Amino acid sequence: MTTPSLSIAPRDKAEILAQALPYIRKFHGKTMVIKYGGNAMTDPELQADFAEDVVLLKLVGINPVVVHGGGPQIENALKRLGKEGKFVQGMRVTDSETMEVVEWVLAGEVQQDIVGLINQAGGKAVGLTGRDGGLIRAQKLKLKDNKDPSVEHDVGQVGDILSIDPSVVKALQDDAFIPVVSPIGFGENNESYNINADVVASKLATVLQAEKLMLLTNIPGVLDKQGQLLTELTSRQIDDLIEDGTISGGMLPKLAGAIDAAKSGVNAVHIVDGRVPHAMLLEILTDTAYGTMIRSY
C-alpha cells in the first residue's frame, strides 16, 4: 500500500505523462546504450528502479542495450580467494587467474543478476559477453606510462577493442529482447580480455548508431569549479575544462569515451547520477536535467 506522502495526485500523473509524450515519440524505434554501474548497481532499491526503467523504455518502443561493469564485485571475489587486486594507472592488472575470476563474476554473477532483475520487472533480457556472436574482438592493451611514454606497463589480459560486430545485438533487439553485455572480449588465439565497461559502452553506442549513450555514475555529472552541475557541454567546452583543471582524475577516461561517441555519430551522451531513483528515465523523458549532456558541437 502506498503511503499518502509518496502518492502522486492524478493531475500530476497526467502532467508527467504529457511531458514524456513528445520524448517517447521522438525516440521511438531508436537505440539507447546504457552503462550500468556505481550505486545503482549495488543498492537493492536502485537496482529495482533501474530494471523497471529499462523495461519501460522497451515497452514505449525505445531499444535499450545494457553494458555493465563490476569492479567492486570482482574485488570482493578476489579477496575471498585471498588475492589482492593490483592497479596501474587505474587499470586492473589481470593475470590469467584474475581473468578467470573476472569472467565468472562478470558473465556469471553480475550479468545474471541484471538479467534476472529485468525479467522480474517484466522484460525479456538476454546476457551476452564479447565472445557471443563474435561481438567484441580485442587485443592486449599497450599501456604507456603517463609521465614517460617510452615506458610500457604490462597489465596482463586487459583488452583494447579491435572491432565490434553488432549483429547478435541487433538480432536480439529485433526479437524484442533486451541485451545485457559483459565487457569481455576475445583475441586471435581465443584468449579472453577484460575491457573497461565505459569504453565498451561508448564503442557499442557508436557502432549501433545509438541515439543516446547513458553513463550511470556515483556523481551528479560534470561540475564546475564552484561545484555546480553543468547540464550541457560541447566537446570544445570539455577540452577547456580539462585544460584549466576543472575536470581531472577518474572523470577523464569517462569523458574521453563520451566525447569519442558524440563525435562518432551518437546524438547525445548523458552522464547521469545513478544514486537518484529513476534518474535515467527522468533525464530521457522530462525537461529536467539529472546529469550532464554532452554533444559533439
Which residues are annotated binding-site positions for substrate? 70-71, 92, 194
Say if CB 162 and CB 128 are below 8 A apart.
no
Under a CB-based contact definition with an 8 Å cutoff, are residues 198 and 180 in contact? no
Of 68, 34, 40, 5, nearest in space to 261 by CA: 34
SS3 call for 156: strand
* Helices 251-263 and 197-207: angle between axes, nearest 10 degrees: 10
Residues forming beta bridges with residue 160, ordered by sequence position: 139
For residue 254, how many other CB atoms are within 10 A of its CB? 23
Give kind and range of the element (H or E) at residue 128: strand 125-129
Please give the grid coordinates belonging to residue 238.
570539455
123 alpha-carbon distance from chain centroid: 19
The answer to whether 121 and 55 have CB atoms below 8 angstroms apart is yes
Distances (CA, A) of 70 to 18, 39, 287: 37, 11, 31
What span, in angstroms and rounded, lies between the C-alpha atoms of 203 and 18?
Answer: 34
Q: How many beta carbons lie within 10 A of that of residue 70, not counting itself?
A: 24
Tell me the binding residues. Answer: 70-71, 92, 194
